[in-house]
Amino acid sequence: MARPVKKKGPDKLIIIAALAVVLIIGAILLFRWMMRDTCPAIVDFTVAGEQVAGSEISFTDITGTEATSWEWDFGDATPGASGAEVTHTYATAGTYKVSLTVNGECQQVRDIEVLAPVEIEEVEEERIQVVVKGPKVAYVGEPVTFIDETPGAVSWEWEFSESGEIDSREKNATYTFEKRGPHEVYLSVNGQRGNPPVMIVEVKKKKDTQAAPKPEPKPAPKPDGGGTTKPTPPPPAPKAPPITESVFFKTIADEFKKDLPDFEKALGKYFGGDLSIVKVKEPGKDPAKMQNWLNALMVKDGKHGYTKAKFVTDKDGEIVLVELSK
């Protein structure tokens, strides 16, 4: 009987070789996968703002849509920040390494130079010394002229403290004051404003330059002895009645009873025809212009509570202050 013949299987060497090839290919693929580049093509950021110590500087990522997380380090030992757009302020000048880490592993580092702030010293503009000639005394209704002699002046703005506006732009200004009292005269040269007054003019009530004609005295009758006597002089011109406490308070009370009080007309004759230069002094308060004091009484229906008034005059005999008391 013949013996059975065994079938030969695959050669073990072939199997081992095949397995080796598979392992090598797998190792290569694994190596390539592990070494793959997972960072975006560009990782970068921009810097905006004044790069000066104490000023806020803006940092903005420009990596693109592939970036999903951001971590910033500003290189000055301060806490970092996260986000696509951040700001940071450096306390001192110097060069700092700013790093941006995208997606936890992709990094960009840049040197940022921060400058020290520059202190600009303000130089005060040298003020022009204004030189003006003019009268220190003027009269209501009479024009007066002021002459500028300021070296280098090419433009002028005169103000005389009545209109609240620029009264003249000429080099030499002529002005007619309408109210009595001290008036500050201002002149701005070459557009330089804020100068103190160049002078103070005392404006007085206009004096009568033409005296009324004196009536011819009638000759006195001759005495029996045949002689003559000296003519009788004309009587003095009547004067306005002086203001008194009772007249002052009564006039104010009477005007407040009217629908339209006119204090300028009612009281003006006692104060030289101009209330604007007269002030009223209440106990414990600074003097106020009489017009302002009267206006304040309007809301009080004219009630003030004072019974005494002292009238203070200037060297010309004009009343300039009324001191009130109870």
Domain 45-114 has CATH 2.40.50.140: no
What's the mean pLDDT when you consider all of the chain? 82
Check pLDDT > 70 for residue 17. Answer: yes
Report residue 60 as tokens: 């903005």
| Pairing label, strands 181-189, 199-204 | antiparallel
In angstroms, rounded to a whole number, what is the distance separating the alpha carbons of residues 265 and 280? 18
Check pLDDT > 80 for residue 27. Answer: no
Check pLDDT > 90 for residue 82. Answer: yes
In the chain, domain spans = 45-114, 132-204, 245-325
pLDDT of residue 216: 59
pLDDT in tens, 240-293: 568 888 898 988 888 888 877 888 888 888 887 777 788 999 999 999 888 888
Q: Give the distance from CA 227 to its chain's centroid.
A: 85
pLDDT of residue 22: 85
pLDDT in tens, 226-240: 555 555 665 554 555
What are the two backbone dihedrals, phi and then psi, of residue 242, each rounded to the nearest 5 degrees? -70, 150
Q: Please give the CATH topology (third level) of the domain spanning 132-204.
A: Immunoglobulin-like (2.60.40)
pLDDT in tens, 135-190: 889 999 889 999 999 998 999 999 999 988 999 999 999 999 998 889 999 999 99
Contacts of 148-154 with CB under 8 Å at 24 or more apart are: 148/172, 148/187, 148/189, 150/187, 150/189, 152/128, 152/190, 153/128, 153/189, 153/190, 154/190
Given this chain, do its domains 45-114 and 132-204 carry the same CATH topology? yes
pLDDT of residue 240: 53
pTM across the whole model: 0.37
pLDDT of residue 237: 45
pLDDT in tens, 268-277: 888 877 777 8
